[in-house]
Chains A and B, each alone.
Chain A
Amino acid sequence: MFLKRKQPKEAALNEFAQVVEGNSLGKDAWKRLKKNKMAVLGMIIVAIYSILAASAMFLPINPYDQIILDHQHLRPSFNKTAGDLMMETKLDDLYFKAWRAGSLVVTEAESQKIEEWISLNETNKVWNFLYTEGEAQRQAGTFTFSSADQRTIDRLQEKIDTEFLINVDKMFYTDPETGKSKNIARMNFLDIQRIYAEYLGVEESVISDQIQNEIRSQVLNTVKSATPDLTAEEYEANLELELQSLGEKGMASLGKTNLLVSLKTAISRSIERGLKQEIKDDKTQFPINREVTVNELLSADITADLKHERHYYLGTDYSGRDMLSRIIYGGQVSIAIGLVGTITSVLIGIVLGAIAGYAGGKIDFFLMRFVDIMYGLPYMLLVIIFMAIFGRNIMNLFVALAMVSWLTVARMVRGQIMSLKNSEYVEAARSMGASTGRIIFRHMVPNSLSVIIVYSTLRVPAFIMQESFLSFLGLGVQAPYASWGSLVGDAVNGMTLYPWKLVFPAIAMTIFLFAMNFFGDGLRDAFDPQSKNQL
């Protein structure tokens, strides 16, 4: 193509024989953006967040969806392990009981202060005071727990010191005929069933019956939670219907999941016994990461760790999940939805706006009337209806939000295209025989890209806010997944007792939105210096 032939670069000179360098719009904007300190700071923060969110899988943090009920609502702490905090909570409780029983003696004034706190619902203050007082008295030897309480403490201490978590990562089965070892998770339902039966040493039919029953009760539970008040017969009928609609394939995959879980539990139980003995003999050092042979045919990759040795830097939530991990993974979901949603809506907007702007006439009229009417709708409400009816999951959330947010882009692009339609370079391209599509997407859209980019950056925080808004209401991302909005929403109940559940996700989210807004504003000022000081 002769147009693309490279020409030798020649320095352009002006009338004073000075070298004049051409400057692209992007370069120019970057120069201006660099001068805007807040925008650069915002950009850096956004970059850090994005890297953290993208690399969440590789960060050395606890799993975000692991439920440990012993670790419910632990407060954030940098140097204390989960075990220490559990012990503290127990002691709080015991000191309070001792104070009530009168065995922990405090002065009259202090007692009154405590009563006052209790009447004001300041439970944290009561616990803190009694804990320090009790510890001091126990140190000084003026107070000892009753023997029953002491036994509770000892039992808890032993639990903290010895309990561990086994995680079976992979299970392998060695085929006795070929001698090859295979990953069990990749096998099909019937093979796994045979292996499990072999392992337990029972007939296959026993296992198959057991799995059938498990699936039945699982399906029945979902039916029951969906429709709370029916008679037993109706449940039975509904159950049959559900099972029928599952079909062979659905049954097999459900069965496989159940079998894998049972097999994992069985294996980890058999390993647990050995490990406990090792701990008693002081032979092991945690964390453990090794391959274990269960019997001559089965082996497994396991990791094991002391359960209560963990650190929760940002505390835990109502089911003992690590808040730090949840905030990072929540950020991943929020940022991903913000980015992907913006890109989708911008793409839809570009295509429709460009078509309307270029084609004009009837197409333009109908498209733009449609946009006008959509503008008049309270679209957040329609999104809520959509989520309520079609089910709450990330995909639906994303579709619902992207469907309504392309309107502004479409209008903007249409305006740009209409103003560019009669420019000389478009004329030139047309006279050279370029197709309509090529003119629009090679020539006109790139020329309005700066406006689109600026709008998109300002769109991302809005998208994140909308996603979080829905998740906050419980209509968006569902547990075990998290998003910033759902974390804040979960925290609202009981925020005086567990303020960290509210504060940390709120801070994480606010900083990101601040940064994104500053960055977007800076970008707009950089691309269009005249817009400075406008909203």
Chain B
Amino acid sequence: MTKYIVNRLLGMIPTLLIIITLSFFIVRIAPGGPFASERKLPEVVERNINAKYHLDEPLIQQYGRYMFDILRGDLGPSFKYKDYDVNYYIANSLPKSIVLGSYAMLLALVFGISAGIIAAIRQNTWLDYLSMGVAVIGISVPLFVIAPVLQLIFAMKLKWLPTSGWYTTGEGWKTVILPAVSLSFAYFANIARLTRSSMLETLRSDYIRTAKAKGMKNTTIIFKHAMKGAMLPIVSYLGPAFAGIITGSIVVEQIFRVPGLGKFFVQSSFNRDYTLIVGVVIVYSAILIVMNFVVDIIYAQLDPRITYK
């Protein structure tokens, strides 16, 4: 097991390296370069700017410098906002995104798994149809439709919840509800469907029949025996779900005006603030890769049938 963890940890390095390299070169080959808009500056100023951002060095040296800076945890200066560097912006906005994403994931897991189990136990009853109907809606309706519609209904018409903002706007925890719910909807739907089908399969398997034959209580069978086996597909779904929640949070933060990383990302891509874009992508990717790693470890822990070289 330790060897497996070490292997996977080492496996994370090339992926991260490729992401950084790819982002670095995409930005450098961008037509016009980062200062294209200011190309008619006086020559001295231009030379100074190039020297300040080390753009006068050969490409390979720039790449080496960038890699070294990232290893030290420095994502470089922002090209557009002169006063602060990328680290400052990320440190300010990342916590909000993490809070939002964790709430969404939590909601999706709790409600998705419960809905799936209920649907599986009460197969072909109205409970089953109801939860699967909601799940189909969650899968078919895109996030950027669900979010404004929820906002329109619950915030603007019924006025139960604030329309936008974050903790600091004075509404407190109420501001989190709508963004988290809309972000979690698609993943709730997928998890509910996955849970239902894998639960149905598990309930038909031999060891459950044995447990039933031994006269065990139904609840014990479901929560102690079936649950463990049925959770495997859900754990393996968590990786894609994390990726989806990260991209989804970009839209949700846009709609509900959450000052998180996603909102920054879109803004910086409009401003063509290349260092900020690359910085945000690297942070997102690192989160994603770490999450995938954690998911793999959990999977290995849960399934005794899997042996690792």
B216 within 8 A of A: no
- Distance of A289 from chain B, by nearest CB (Å): 40
Across-interface contacts of B14 in A (CB, < 8 A) = 373
B156 within 8 A of A: yes
Residue ID in chain B nearest A464 by CB atoms: B142
The number of residues on chain A lying at the interface, defined by a beta carbon within 8 Å of a beta carbon of chain B, is 48
Measured in the bound complex, the distance between the Cα atoms of B148 and A506 in whole Å is 10
Choose among A381, A474, A510 the residue with the greatest number of B CB atoms under 10 Å from its CB. A381
Contact residues of A between 486 and 528, Cβ < 8 Å to B: 488-489, 491-492, 495-496, 499, 502, 506, 509-510, 513-514, 517
Across-interface contacts of A475 in B (CB, < 8 A) = 266, 269
B38 within 8 A of A: yes
- How does the 8 Å CB contact mask read for A360-403 relative to B, with 1 for contact and 0 for none? 00000000000001001110111011111110000000000000
Across-interface contacts of A495 in B (CB, < 8 A) = 148, 151-152, 156
Choose among B27, B149, B284, B288 the residue with the greatest number of A CB atoms under 10 Å from its CB. B149
A230 within 8 A of B: yes
- Distance of B293 from chain A, by nearest CB (Å): 10
Across-interface contacts of B26 in A (CB, < 8 A) = 382, 385-386, 389
Contact residues of B between 264 and 309, Cβ < 8 Å to A: 265-266, 269-270, 272, 274, 277-278, 280-281, 284-285, 288-289, 292
Pick from A384, A469, A489: contact of B269, CB under 8 Å:
A384
Pick from B40, B41, B141: contact of A513, CB under 8 Å:
B141
Does B142 contact A509, Cβ atoms closer than 8 Å? yes
Does B142 contact A535, Cβ atoms closer than 8 Å? no
Pick from A226, A385, A388: contact of B270, CB under 8 Å:
A388
A158 within 8 A of B: no
Pick from B152, B197, B280: contact of A502, CB under 8 Å:
B152
- Distance of A119 from chain B, by nearest CB (Å): 12
Does B142 contact A382, Cβ atoms closer than 8 Å? no
Measured in the bound complex, the distance between the Cα atoms of B59 and A70 in whole Å is 54
Q: Chain B interface: which of A98-106, A148-156, A234-242, A267-275? A: A234-242
Known contacts A376-B15, A381-B285, A535-B197; is-contact A468 B272 (Cβ 8 Å): no
Does B269 contact A385, Cβ atoms closer than 8 Å? yes
- Distance of A337 from chain B, by nearest CB (Å): 14
Measured in the bound complex, the distance between the Cα atoms of B27 and A11 in whole Å is 67
A18 within 8 A of B: no
Pick from B15, B31, B145, B277: contact of A385, CB under 8 Å:
B277
Choose among A227, A238, A377 the residue with the greatest number of B CB atoms under 10 Å from its CB. A377
Measured in the bound complex, the distance between the Cα atoms of B149 and A533 in whole Å is 30
Measured in the bound complex, the distance between the Cα atoms of B197 and A387 in whole Å is 38
Measured in the bound complex, the distance between the Cα atoms of B140 and A509 in whole Å is 9
The number of residues on chain B lying at the interface, defined by a beta carbon within 8 Å of a beta carbon of chain A, is 57
Across-interface contacts of A241 in B (CB, < 8 A) = 39-40
Across-interface contacts of B31 in A (CB, < 8 A) = 389-390
B67 within 8 A of A: no
Measured in the bound complex, the distance between the Cα atoms of B241 and A98 in whole Å is 56
B251 within 8 A of A: yes
Does A473 contact B272, Cβ atoms closer than 8 Å? no
Pick from A230, A376, A384: contact of B38, CB under 8 Å:
A230
Across-interface contacts of B7 in A (CB, < 8 A) = none
A330 within 8 A of B: no
- Distance of B51 from chain A, by nearest CB (Å): 21
Q: Chain A interface: which of B69-77, B86-94, B174-182, B242-250? A: B242-250
Known contacts A385-B269, A510-B140, A517-B139; is-contact A378 B148 (Cβ 8 Å): no
Measured in the bound complex, the distance between the Cα atoms of B265 and A496 in whole Å is 27
Across-interface contacts of B278 in A (CB, < 8 A) = 385
Contact residues of B between 138 and 163, Cβ < 8 Å to A: 139-145, 148-149, 151-152, 156, 159
Measured in the bound complex, the distance between the Cα atoms of B248 and A465 in whole Å is 12
Does A513 contact B19, Cβ atoms closer than 8 Å? no
Does A533 contact B200, Cβ atoms closer than 8 Å? yes
Does A381 contact B30, Cβ atoms closer than 8 Å? no
Known contacts A474-B270, A475-B269, A495-B152; is-contact A469 B144 (Cβ 8 Å): yes
Measured in the bound complex, the distance between the Cα atoms of B250 and A475 in whole Å is 12
Measured in the bound complex, the distance between the Cα atoms of B285 and A384 in whole Å is 14
Residue ID in chain A nearest B278 by CB atoms: A385
Does B40 contact A237, Cβ atoms closer than 8 Å? yes
Measured in the bound complex, the distance between the Cα atoms of B41 and A37 in whole Å is 67
Measured in the bound complex, the distance between the Cα atoms of B272 and A380 in whole Å is 17
Does A376 contact B289, Cβ atoms closer than 8 Å? yes
B254 within 8 A of A: yes
Does B141 contact A510, Cβ atoms closer than 8 Å? yes
Known: A382-B281, A533-B197, A534-B197. 20 other contacts (CB 8 A): A120-B159, A227-B37, A373-B18, A378-B246, A381-B246, A386-B26, A388-B270, A389-B31, A389-B272, A389-B274, A469-B144, A485-B142, A485-B144, A488-B144, A495-B156, A496-B152, A502-B148, A509-B142, A513-B140, A517-B139
Could you list some 19 contacts between A and B, CB below 8 A?
A120-B159, A227-B37, A234-B40, A380-B247, A381-B265, A381-B280, A385-B23, A385-B26, A385-B278, A389-B272, A389-B274, A461-B140, A473-B251, A488-B145, A489-B144, A495-B148, A506-B145, A517-B140, A535-B233
In the A-B complex, the 9 residue pairs with the smallest Cβ-Cβ separation, listed nearest first, are A388-B269, A227-B37, A380-B247, A389-B30, A237-B40, A376-B15, A506-B145, A472-B144, A513-B140
